[in-house]
Every structure is written in C-alpha cells, then in structure tokens.
Amino acid sequence: IWKIKQMVQEKEGQLKQVEADVKKAELQTTPIGDETPSNECIIELGKMIATLQNTLQEVVKVVEAAQPTAQGSLKARMVTLLERAKTSQEKVSEIKETTREQRENVECQAILDEARAKVSKVEESFQKCEEAEAPYLKGMEIIPVDEATKAVADSIEAAAIVQKLITEARTFMMGKQIELKKLMEAVSEAGIQEMQDLMRKMEASIEKLSDFKKDTESRQKVALHQEAMTKVATAEEAVKKASESVEGLSADTDKSQEEAEALMDKLAAVMKEAEQKLNEARQFLEERKMDRKVPLDTKEMSELAAKQAATQVDLAKSKSKVEAYEQTIVASILTKEIAQMLCDLEKETEQVIEEAAPLVEEGGKKFVVASMVRMITEALVEYCGREGIPRQNIFRQMSPDTPEGGKVLEAEFVAYLETVPEKCGRPDLAFSAEQRAAIFEQLDEDLDGSIVMEDFMGLFKERHLCTKEVTVTDGFEIANSQTITKLHVSDIVEVLAEAKTLDSIGVVRMKVKVEKDGSEGWVTTQGTSGSTYFTPLTVYAAFMRNLEKLLSATASSGKKLIDFMTHKLQELRDCKTGPLADAKAEVIKTRSKINVQRAKLDSLIKKVEEGKQEHSKREAFERRKQEEKRERKAASVIVKAVSEEVEKAQNAFAALEKKAAPLSVTAEAELLALETPVSLRNEAQAAASALKSAIAEARACLAAHRGKVEKALKGPWHEAKQEMSKLDNQIEALGKKAELVAEASEAGCETIASARYGQASAALRTSLTAREGLTAEALFAELAGNGREQIEEAVFCSHLDKLDGLKFPAEQKQLVVQKAGGVGGLGRRSFSMLLERHLRCVKEIALTAVFDISVSNAPVRKIGIGESVEVLEGPKSDDTHSISRVSIRALVDGAAGWVTVKGNRDTTFFVECPKPCYCITEEVAMQDAFSTEATNTLQRLRVGEVVEVIEGPRQEILPNAMRMKCKPVSGEAAGWITSTTKQGTSCARKGQGTYTCRSTIALTDMANMKECKVLRKLTKGEVLQSLEGPIDDPIAGVTRIRAKAKKDDMEGWVTIRGNAGSMLLEETGCTWVITTKMSLQADFRTDAGPEIRSLEPDELVEVLEGPKEEKSEPMTRLRCRAVADGKVGWITLKSSTATQWSPVYHCLEETALSENLDAEVGAKIRNLEPGETIELLDGPREDLTTGALRLKGRAATDEAEGWASIFTKDGTQLLECVAPESN
C-alpha cells in the first residue's frame, strides 16, 4: 500500500507540472491582437506539446495499472488523477489543432531551407573542379608531366567531392518530398513545387559533372603516356652514366685498400641508382599494361618496353665489368692482409721468445738475483727499524763524500754489501763478489755504472697482487671507514705502511696505493679465519704475469689468423678461375708458414713450463723459509698482544688481593678491629670490577686471534697455539682466584655484620626492657619521628651510640643497617626483625635452664633441626668452654632457656633467619584463644595478608562432638547443628514432642472436658507441637496435652488417648531448644558445609537425624600477629589457608607503583611490568580509601620504591608472594 501511495504522490506531482505547462501553452497560443507567433516560438511549442503528451500517457498507464489493487481514499485519488489527465489531454489536443497550420508551415520552411543549402553546396563544389583543370584551360593541350599528373589527380579528387554532395542532396530531397505531402494541402503544395525546382538544378549539376569526368579521363591518358616516356628516358640516362663510369677501369692492383674500397663504393652507388631507375620504369610500364580503366596506346607502350629491355642489357654489361674489377681488387687485398698478419705473428713470436729468455735461456738467474735483493732489503728494513734511522741514510753511508742528490758507484755499492751481513746479523747474506755485482747490475737499469737515491729507494717499494676481491677504505678501523674503491683479482697495489693487526676483530690491515687509479687507503690482507687477499708481486711474479700475457696474445694472434684464413677459404671454395682462384692458392701456401710459427710458440711454451717448474722448486724452498719467518713474526705479535692483556689482568688481580687482604682474615677479632670495612669492601669491589674488565678484554683478545691458530698442527702457529692455551689457562685461573678473593672479602664483611648485628639486637632489646611499657612499635615511631615509615640511618646510628656497652665504628654500624635490609635507614619490618632476632636450628642441640653448662643443668628439651627460636638475650661467650650461648624462646611451644650457637670446634648449631611469617591464601578466622571451640573470632584475615609467628605451630587434640540434623520449627530448610561441642559443652536441650492426628478431633480452650469449648476441628494428619502435659483426666478417663497447631499456630487442648484406650494422636517427633547461638550448616562436618543461617537461643528445632558422633582430627594452631593492624590471635594452619612467606613478590599483571599508601592520593612513580620482582619494605596494609591490600616495596630492576596493590577491587591478584625455597 505504501508503494501505491508513494506512486500516487509522484504522479500527482507530475500531473500538476503538466497542468501548469498546458496553461503556459494556452497563454502562448492565445493572441492578444493580430500578431503572429515567431517560428522559434512555434518550434518550442511543438516540443512542449510532444513532452506533455508523453508525460500524460505515462501517468495514465501507471495509474490504470495500479487502480485495480487500490482501495479507499487511494482509489478515489487515482480516479481524480485520471480525470485530470483526461482534461489536460483534451487541452493539449486543442492547442495542437489550433497551431497545426503554423507548425506545419514552419516545418515546411525548415525542410526547404536545408534543401537550398545542399544545392548551394553542390554549386560551390564545382569551383574546385575549375581550379583543378585550370592548367588545361590556358590553351595548352600538352603540359609538363609533373604538372599534368598533379592536375589530373586534383581533378579526380574534385569530381569525387562533387559526386558525394550531389548524392547527399538528391537523397535528402527525395525523402523530404514524402514528408511534405503529409502536411496540410495549403502548406504542402507550395513546398513541393519549390522542391521540384531544386531537383531540376541537381539534374543540371549531374550533367555538368559527367562532362568534367570525360575531360579528366582524356587528360589522364595523355599524362600517363608522358610519365612512361619520362621514366624510360631517366633509366636510359642512369645506365649510360654507369657505363661511362666503368670505361676507365683497369687491373691496377697497386691501389691501397682504402682507395680500392672507396672506388668500389662509388661504382656500387652508380650501379644501384641505375638499377633503381630501370626498375621504376619497368614497374610503371607493367602497371599501365594491367590498368583497364585508363588503357594506353598498345603500339607506343611496346616501343617503350623495347627501349627498357635494351637498357637492361647495357646495365648487365656494366655490372660484369665491375664484378671482374672487384675480384681483382679483393684478391689483392686478401693476399696483402694475410701477408701482413703473418708478418705480425712472426714479430710477436720473436718478441715472446726474447721476453722468455731470462727463464728458458738464462736459467732464471735474474730471479735468483731478485731473491737476493729481496733478502737484503728485508734485512736493511729490520736494521733501520732497530737502529731508528731513515732508509735514506743507508744510501748516504755507501758514499759519504757524495753531495746531496749524487750517485753511488758500483764499487761503493758492492763494498757496502760486504758489510750488510755483519750490520744486520745475517750471515746468510754473505754473497760472492759475482753475486754482489749481479745485484748492482739489476739495480742499474740505465747501465751507467751508478745508482741514484731514487734507484736505491725503489728497493724498499713493496708491490702486491690482489688474489681476492677486497675494498679499499679511507681508515684503519673498518667500522668507521668509507669505501674508496674496490680491488679486483690481478689489480696491483704499492705498500705504503707496514701491516698491523686490528685487535677488535682479529684481521690484518695495511695502507696501500692502487696502481690503476693512484688512490690511497687501507685494505685487509688477512681475514679472521686466516684467508689472504694479496700475494707479494716479486720480480718473478711480475715477469711471469707479463710473459703469460704475451704468450696468450701471441697464441690468440695465431688462432685469429688461422680462423681468418679458414673463413676466407670457405668463401672462395667455388672460385675455380680468375683473380680470386689465384688468391685462394696463395692463401693455401701461407698455411705452412703459420704452422712453423705455431711450432715455435709450442716449443717455447714447453720450455717456459719447464723453467717454471725449476723456478718453483727454488721458490718453494725460499717461500718455506720466508713463510716460516712471517708466521713466526705474526705469531709473536699475537702472542705478545695476548700476553700484554693477561699481564694487565694479573696486575689487576694483585691490586684486588691487596685491597681485599684486610677483609680476608679468618680471625673475628681482627675483623672487628677494622675501622672502615665498608670502604675496604667498596675498594675491593672496584678492584674486582677492574679485574673482570681486564679478564674480559684478555678473553676477547684471545677469541679474536684463536681462528688463526686453532687448525695449526705444527710450525710457528702451532707454537703460538700452545702458548695461547697456557695464557687461556692463566686467565681462567685468575677468574677463579678472583671469585675466591671476592667471596673472602664478602665473608669478612658478613662476619663483622653478623657479630655487630647480634650485639646491636641484644642492646636494643635490653634498652627496650629497661624502659617499662615501651613497645617495639613505639620505639620505632619515636626514632622515625613525625609519623614517618623509616628511621634515618644517622638517627639509628646515633641511637646505637647511646646504648650501654655498645661502641663500634661508624662503618660497622652501616653494615648493621645493610644486614637489616635497610637502604639509607630502617623500615618498620627491618627494625622489627632487628629487635626480634630469630635463629634456625641446623644441628640438634639441648635447651638448658641456665647459661653455665658446667653446673648441674638438666636439659629442658631438645631443639630439633629446622625449629625456629626467638633470641631473648646474647650472644654471650663462655670463655671457659670457648662457646657462644644465647637465651632463646622456642616458637613451637614457648619453652625458654639457653642454647649453644657455636661450639668450641667451630660447629654451627644455629643460623640467622628471618622472623617466621605466613601469607594467608584462603580467608581464615583469627580467634582469641588456643582452643578452637571455646573461642571468639577477633577478625577474619583476608587473602594476601601477612602474619608474624608468635607461638606455634602446635597441634590441638580434641574429643568428638555430637551432631544432629534438624529443621527449625519455623519451617525453614533443614541442616546440621552441634548439640555437644568437642569440649563437652551442651548447645541444645531436649524439648517437647511432636504429635500427628490419626483421626479427626477437636482443639478446645481448656483441659476440663466438661467445661471446655471447641476452638476448631483438627483433621487427620495435622501436626501439633506439645506445649504442656500430657495429663490424665480421671473423671473423663482420657489423657490430654496442651499443644500448638503448626498449620495456623492456634493453641489449645487436645485428647491423645480416649476413654476406650484408642490413640487419637501419635507422637511422631521431638523438638530441641537451642541454648547457645550457633550456625545451622548444610554439611555433617563442622568445617565442611556452608552456613544456612544462625540459630538464636530458645529457638526450637525438630530433630530429623541423630544425634551422632563427629570424629575430630588434630588441629594445627598458630599464634600470630597480623601485620596489617597488629592484632594478635590464633588461627588454624592448613596447607590451603596459609603458606610460608618471604619478602619477595612476583608481579603477575601490570600495576602502578605510587608514592602513598592511599592509591588515590599518591603520585604514580611508574608501572610494574609482569615478571618483575619487588622486595617488601613495609606492609601489607589496607588502603582505607579503597579497601585494597597494599605493600611498600623496592623494585629489583631499578630499585624504585613505592606502594603497590596486591589485589584489585574485584579480587584480581596483581602480586604473588614467592615461596622462600624458590627465592
């Protein structure tokens, strides 16, 4: 329905707009005077009428389709809509009829205007035809071929345009004539007449176009004939030019290859141009022959074809001459090229033979001398380094009288070489006179019998060949350097500085200059695993590098020549005669000469290989000596570096021993005599830290160099490996010794702290006892002052000075504070533990009544292992027996007496322990007495609270209790109660019975049967509660009771036994009276079921089961003090209710650490993250604002102190106590 309603609203809106438009149209068509509407208005009106009609049709269609399903007001609205639409349609039809003549007149004029425009376009298009044929209208029948071709093409194009326009105009006018006939006769008659006139004009234009096409066709034939003649003539001219160009050719083979190639290129261009022109003429003639639209004269075309064929023959003759000349030239060039390549190969072969002479002819003498030079150079470098003189001074020592920049003669140089073995301590450098002369000869490159400073300094230049890709950096340290360039295999560098080790990562680096680009920087020569990146470029290595290049180049030239000849012979395989055949024969003859050169090269390569083998043997021997020397030097550098680090560690250990010595003594008296134990410990810790760093650096140095030696099985590196192993053992030994020294130092401090802690504890307890009525809490508040939660360290130490018989140095007091767990002072818990000192038994010992063990002193009892005791007095020394005794109270049963803490043979019987505490894990009642029954509940301890042990744990053995199941008379749910407690106390007494009616009987107002009145009738099964009786009525012979009906609590008298002896009421139960307030519980066990409700004294219950005995289990009871509020009482200790407590808590979920106990007041310090641990300093205590249980603690990660919640308001646990054994 809503869709129909929506549609009706939409169509009403459309119809309203139609009605407005109809009204507008009526106004436009209603004349005010004699004026006539403009054509534009008529056109606009026609469009409006068409739109209105379409809209009305659509409205009527939609409304009529929906009308059958419409009902009520909607249907009425739709009927109205249809009527309005019909009215509007009638008005539109009327307007349409009224304006028909005007509209059709305008339509007719529009058609005629368009037809006139098309006829006019046709007439105008003939102008292009006139422009196209203009060259022919000047009186010339034959015009130039290019002009004629263009004029014909333009004429054909112009004719096509005119033809298209005529076709369009005729089609339009023929179609529009049919439309004109459909108009009113008055309008169509004149229009058709004018349209026919325009058609006649079109016929004239068609005839004119036909004439123009005929003229164009005739002119096209003439133009095509002209073009054919022109193309043939052009081809003849090009062939003639080609023939003339080859007339002057001769068999001149003395031209250079460049001149011959230029001439051949020129002839090829001429021949190509002639060929192209001839092909153009032939193709044009063939096209004309195939053209059926514009056929040319057959005779003329045959003549032109004959000329073209003759020209083709002339061109072929010219080509033949060119080809013959080309063969002659190519043969000449080929012969010369192969001869030149053979000559080059012969020169290369001779050059490489000459270059190989030092190795294959001279037996490697040059390289032996170079090895001598290298040995002398190395010795001189060591000598200069040892003596601290520049290398230039050696050159000056050879000829002291030679001025600066002068020369050293051969005799002077050879004489100086004689002194080198003695100067350098190298007897292996005592060469013969002939060898010394050969050394000079190798240095004297210009053969002038002398050397200059530059020649001499060249001896010290080291060149290395790159064997693995490596980068060049701008600094020695790799981490902080930038890359300058990258070296590839076979790149050469000059060494600028001696290689040195980068200890941080264990690589060897040296500064170099790159020969290929002159850049300077640092490169790695040896990696962490011992891999090398460079090899020295010796004279022999440089020689072989150059020789191998020459051998490779010569072999490549020979192969290139063979490949070239093979390729040319393949190309000339079909040449049987002529210049190319002669050239082929010459090439074949050259092959034998090439084979001779290749044989020479092969022989040389064989000799070079033999020479290399011989030199390798000599070099291998020398290399072994040099490598061993280098390895020994490198190994010594590494061992020295590690040794220096180990020596630093040993010095640091000596410093540690010296600092820790005062604290490492075992005599307690000597330790207690130390004035500054804290300062000594700090110094020892600093020394230990320095030693740790030194050991770490030594180990790092070892690790950095271990890769170089770990695979060595012999030689210098193996010796270094063994030495490094010894150094490693020394480092490990130092570490273990350092741990022992540190432990001894800490043990000394602990001995002082323990002794002074005990003395301070005893003195504080004595002073507290002397001040009657002063509690530990009050003393803490007094010393802390202003309600603070911590006693300042200075205040505490000052208070110790005031105690009788307690005088020891300030730093020993600091140790007491630190042992108590204080940082800058003592918190409430630390102070409490100091006052209430506790010990744990580690070896069974007797508890005696008095201090002196020499008098008759019967043991009170034994103290068992693991038992905790509270120190009341002491420790006191028994000098007679050399033992230490304390007065204690056993927590388990309160037994007091004296025990021995430490025996005369240093046997330990007790160790210090924190005051035993428990953490509540399940809500439990705190009661005022040991007995679980005859007690009152003081409060209920919450989960997470901490209690301090005062007495216990000990067991309570109880008798059995009596329990019975009952139901309150008030009609509530049944449950269990205790009728007699475990202590024998009665909690309920037996009351009256319960009766059930066996038949209908009356409830009366009094006992007398004759005088009573009936209150109401009791029905069979109704239950009564006995209130009084039973009593016998001897007159009536019945027994009656006073009772209360449970149904409505009505009270009265009822007969239980009639005068005939029949039982009218049956006793079906018994009621009990509650005498002590107790709980009605859901379970038989006293400690198992939940409470249903509380029963008050004098309340009546109906017994359903029992009484029966409930067996009692022993109870573990603990007297304790709640840390949160200080209340003292007894709790029942079970595994589920409490666990042993430690001051360390583990964070379970993220929680805030704030400055104040009140979480809403204190500023947040930071958040504790899950997994963090926090040590308790105070609490746990209740936040009175939120009720949350909170503690003050110190975070282990950053020692931040503040208050944190143990539980959230909704009971989510945030902090969990860590069990003492896992702490």
pLDDT tens by residue, 907-918: 889 988 888 889
Tokens at residue 1212, please? Answer: 């989510």
Report the predicted TM-score, pTM, of the whole model to 2 decimal places: 0.43
Please report where in the chains the tokens 């190309």 appear, as a residue.
571
Residues in the chain: 1223
Radius of gyration (C-alpha) of the chain in whole angstroms: 66
Tokens at residue 271, please? Answer: 């021949």
Q: How far apart are CA 191 and CA 207, in angstroms?
A: 25
Q: How far apart are CA 486 and CA 480, in angstroms?
A: 17
Q: How far apart are CA 896 and CA 898, in angstroms?
A: 7
Q: How far apart are CA 938 and CA 849, in angstroms?
A: 35
Residue 590 C-alpha from the chain's centroid: 72
Q: Dihedral through CA 217, CA 223, CA 227, CA 230, nearest 10?
A: 160
pLDDT tens by residue, 1096-1139: 888 888 888 888 888 877 888 899 988 888 889 999 888 888 99
Q: What angle do CA 152, 154, 160 make, to 5 degrees?
A: 105
Candidates 610, 455, 615, 603; CA nearest to 543 is 615
Residue 1046 DSSP SS3: coil
Q: How far apart are CA 72 and CA 356, in angstroms?
A: 125
Q: Dihedral through CA 46, CA 49, CA 50, CA 51, nearest 10?
A: 120
- pLDDT under 50: residue ranges of the chain: 32-34, 1222-1223
Q: How far apart are CA 66 and CA 909, in angstroms?
A: 111
Residue 94 DSSP SS3: helix
**Is the Cβ–Cβ distance between 342 and 350 less than 8 Å?**
no
Can you count the helices (H) and strands (E) in the chain?
23, 45
Q: How far apart are CA 1058 and CA 520, in angstroms?
A: 138
**Is the Cβ–Cβ distance between 1030 and 1040 less than 8 Å?**
yes
Of the CA atoms within 13 Å of residue 941, those in its CB half-sphere come to 32
**Is the Cβ–Cβ distance between 112 and 193 less than 8 Å?**
no
Residue 976 DSSP SS3: strand
Tokens at residue 106, please? Answer: 């305008």
Q: What is the pLDDT of residue 253?
A: 55
DSSP 1207: B
Q: How far apart are CA 1128 and CA 1023, in angstroms?
A: 51
Q: What is the pLDDT of residue 33?
A: 47
Q: How far apart are CA 905 and CA 296, in angstroms?
A: 149
